[in-house]
Amino acid sequence: MSGCRPPALLAAALAMLAAVAASGAASAAARPSAASRELDRAQTLLLERLTTLPEGSGVLILRDAEALTLRIPARLLFAYDGALLKREPVAVAPLAAAEQLLKKRRALQAQIVVYTDSIGGVSANQSLSDQRAQAIYDAIKAAGIAPKRLQQHGAGAATMVASNQTPAGRIENRRVEIEFRLPARPPERPPAGF
């Protein structure tokens, strides 16, 4: 997965989209899939919405072939060891961007996963991440997004992105990831008689 930080993120995304458009002479087989194009549009919308964030906010947009992930440092959204969402503009902006994306790109579904560091007990970390995931789910649902398009769970300290041996690493591990993807299509059935 590649990661970008707003607002340098917007310039990088626009350059990437320009490069994709410039390669329009490629054969039909090399063209991006419908899912890839939908994720491209979703990424552009997120980038536009996140330009108001200050430099160094730590918010990242990660992209792979099948999903677009908005990674938000937990410190932006929650007080330390708290599960109530903050109301400051820097906290509201990433969630508002996710809500707007889901309103404009109705085919997308979102999975909310909240991580902690490994300090404290496993049970306490799991409980905190569950509560935080529920708070984000509730906020996005309250914005009018259908619950059937949302999934959420707390992952505790299950997946680290940095070492928990340093304060900086622990801060990086305390995060929220909202993954946007298109629903999986059921496999096509062969015609009767095969």
Q: Which CATH number fits domain 2-15+32-181: 3.30.1330.60, 3.90.1150.10, 3.30.350.10, 3.30.70.260?
A: 3.30.1330.60
**Could you give the CA distance from residue 103 to residue 98 in angstroms, rounded to a whole number?**
9
Q: Report the relative pairing of strands 68-73 and 60-63 from DSSP bridges.
A: antiparallel
Reading across the β-sheet that carries 60-63, which strands appear in turn?
A: 2-4, 60-63, 68-73, 175-181, 109-115, 150-156
54-94 residue pLDDT tens: 989 999 999 999 999 999 999 999 999 999 999 999 899 99
142-182 residue pLDDT tens: 999 999 999 999 999 988 899 888 999 999 999 999 999 99
Domain boundaries, the chain: 2-15+32-181
